[in-house]
DNA sequence: ACCTGAACACCGTTCAAGT
DNA sequence: ACCTGAACACCGTTCAAGT
């Protein structure tokens, strides 16, 4: 769908995306689209053509990080070759920690990963979909060890990560706060004692 | 601080608050302050005098629900008179469930309870402070039973509740989703097996 | 096919002028 | 002491006119 694009359109797309990355990094998910257009030297209507919704822009801006997290998931899934007990759990939790850290650090990412009520038949957004797919093997390994409840989904984990990022956004030390809360969530506020 | 107020100022305050409740219920935390002023029949500058920040308005709008949750906490804390084992845990979790349900249902409440980076010496906002104080006895009872980790704070629980509400805001069935995720959080994603 | 520029309706902030 | 009205700078959306 990027094929056969006119050179100037392509150029504009790249420029807008580059500016958007800076603006979102500076101002967060609410960065001004108008400002982005201004700095990129295009009309706001042009921004809108390339990115019809704010969310589309945020997803594009976040794409590299999401790909990095997907790659990391695959890496961790492969690495557990030695099959020691508890290795699957460890890998899953390490990945989840990185997802949370990214969501807290990379402004706009949590918003891009938030559930989108768009009428997408699968009920998810394409952006989170890749991450969910990449995390699946990690979750399954951990579940096979009995380390996570059988009905847990990767989407649950992502939603929790997004929630932690959003809730700690205005704290003085968001990363530390989010990590502490993740630890609490992993261990359970009050797990059944068997 | 509400004493010796001129009658018209008092009337305006009440009107603005009443309108704000409707608008926030309809549009959420991002409701238009201008629109609220219009419906209330006052200038936007008047709204600003009574509620200097959006947050102040959201806190005022949420006050009744917060008081209800505080009352509920006291009620649950008193009720566990029969001191049966696990009673403290049960009370805490029931309350936490209600906090989450309120945050999901009552638009603007999650925003009002979010951490405020204002230079408030205690590091919290006055709105959440009441809720934290009210929840303290419940948490302590549960902790005394060994049902929650000793270093857990009520603020942790509130922040988690806010996070769940924010993360599920755009889901088709926010309440069900938030409840499911709360259950997962209470049980733990992957508790240590002792 | 793609872009621009302008018009539109909206927003929150600020302040001088009123009573 | 409190309010109003207006001015300001900003926002996102839309569309007719350009190349």
pLDDT averages per 10-residue partition of chain A, 194 residues:
64 93 93 92 91 91 96 92 80 98 96 74 65 96 95 97 95 96 98 77
The confidence score (pLDDT) of residue A2 equals 43
Are the C-beta atoms of residues A58 and A108 closer than 8 Å to each other?
yes
- The pLDDT of residue B126 is 74
Residue B124 has pLDDT above 90, yes or no: no
Query: Which residues have CB atoms below 7 Å from chain D, the nucleic strand?
Result: A 32-35, 43-45, 48, 53; B 5-6, 8-9, 12, 41-46, 49-50
Q: Give chain B's largest Cα–Cα span.
A: 65
Q: Is the CB of B27 under 7 A from strand C?
A: no
Q: For residue A41, which phi and psi values (nearest 5 degrees)?
A: 75, 30
3-state secondary structure B149-193: CCCCCHHHHHHHHHHHHHHCCCCCCHHHHHHHHHHHHHHCCCCCC
Report which DSSP code applies to B114: S
Query: What three-state secondary structure class fits B82?
Result: helix
Residue B5 pLDDT greater than 80, yes or no: no
Task: Give the closest nucleotide to B31 (alpha carbon vs C1').
Answer: C11
Instruction: Compute the distance between CA of residue A112 and CA of residue A4 in angstroms, rounded to an integer.
Output: 28
Nearest nt (C1') from A32 Cα? D11
Distance of CA A25 to the CA centre of its chain: 15
Please tell me the predicted confidence (pLDDT) of residue A119. 40
| Residue B58 CA, nucleotide D8 C1', distance (Å) | 26
**Chain B residues inside the 8 Å CB shell of A187:** 149, 188, 191-192
Round the average pLDDT of chain B to a whole number and report it. Answer: 89
Is residue A189 helix, strand or coil? coil
pLDDT tens string B134-161:
999 999 999 999 999 999 999 999 999 9
Q: Which residues does chain B have within 8 Å of residue A192's beta carbon, measured at their own beta carbons?
A: 187
DSSP code at position A172 = S
Q: Count chain A–chain B contacts defined by CB atoms under 8 A.
A: 123
Residue among A159, A168, A191 minimizing CB distance to B168: A159
Name the residue among B89, B148, B190 with its Cβ closest to that of A89: B190
Q: Give the nearest nucleotide to B44, CA to C1'.
A: C12
Report CA(B123)–C1'(D5) in Å, whole number: 39
Confidence (pLDDT) at A77:
95
Within 8 A of B171 by CB-CB distance, chain A residues are: 115, 117
Report the alpha-carbon angle B18-B21-B25, nearest 5.
Answer: 150
- Please give the residue that has the higher pLDDT: either A157 or B192: A157
Residue numbers in A 28-67, CB below 7 Å of strand C? 41-46, 49-50
- pLDDT 10s digits, B61-84: 999 999 999 999 999 999 865 567
Q: How far is CA A105 from CA A9, A71, B25, B34, B152, in A?
A: 31, 18, 31, 33, 24
> What pTM does this model have?
0.92
Position B123 confidence tier, pLDDT thresholds 50, 70, 90:
very low
| Å between CA of A50 and C1' of C4 | 15
pLDDT at B80: 64
Cα Rg for chain B, rounded, in angstroms? Answer: 19
Q: How far is the CA of B155 from the C1' of C15 (A)?
A: 40
- Return the percentage of chain B with pLDDT > 70, whole number: 90
Residue A50 to residue A39: CA distance in whole angstroms: 16
C-alpha span between A26 and A19 (Å, rounded)? 11
pLDDT value of residue B122: 38
């Amino acid at each position: 769908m990027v094929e056969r694009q006119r050179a100037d359109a392509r150029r504009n797309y790249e420029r807008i995306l580059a500016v958007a990355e800076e603006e979102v990094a500076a101002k967060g998910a609410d960065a001004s689209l108008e400002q982005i257009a201004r700095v990129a030297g295009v009309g706001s209507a042009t921004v809108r053509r390339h990115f019809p919704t704010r969310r589309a822009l945020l997803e594009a801006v976040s794409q590299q990080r999401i790909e990095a997290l997907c790659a990391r998931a695959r890496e961790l899934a492969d690495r557990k070759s030695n099959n020691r007990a508890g290795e699957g759990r460890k890998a899953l939790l390490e990945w989840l920690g990185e997802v949370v850290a990214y969501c807290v650090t990379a402004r706009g990412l949590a918003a891009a990963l938030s559930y989108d009520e768009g009428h997408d038949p699968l009920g998810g957004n394409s952006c989170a979909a890749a991450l969910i797919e990449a995390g699946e093997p990690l979750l399954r390994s951990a579940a096979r060890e009995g380390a996570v409840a059988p009905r847990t989904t990767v989407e649950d984990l992502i939603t929790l990560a997004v929630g932690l990022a959003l809730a700690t956004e205005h704290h003085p030390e968001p990363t530390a706060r989010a990590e502490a809360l993740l630890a609490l969530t992993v261990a359970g506020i009050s797990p059944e004692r068997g």
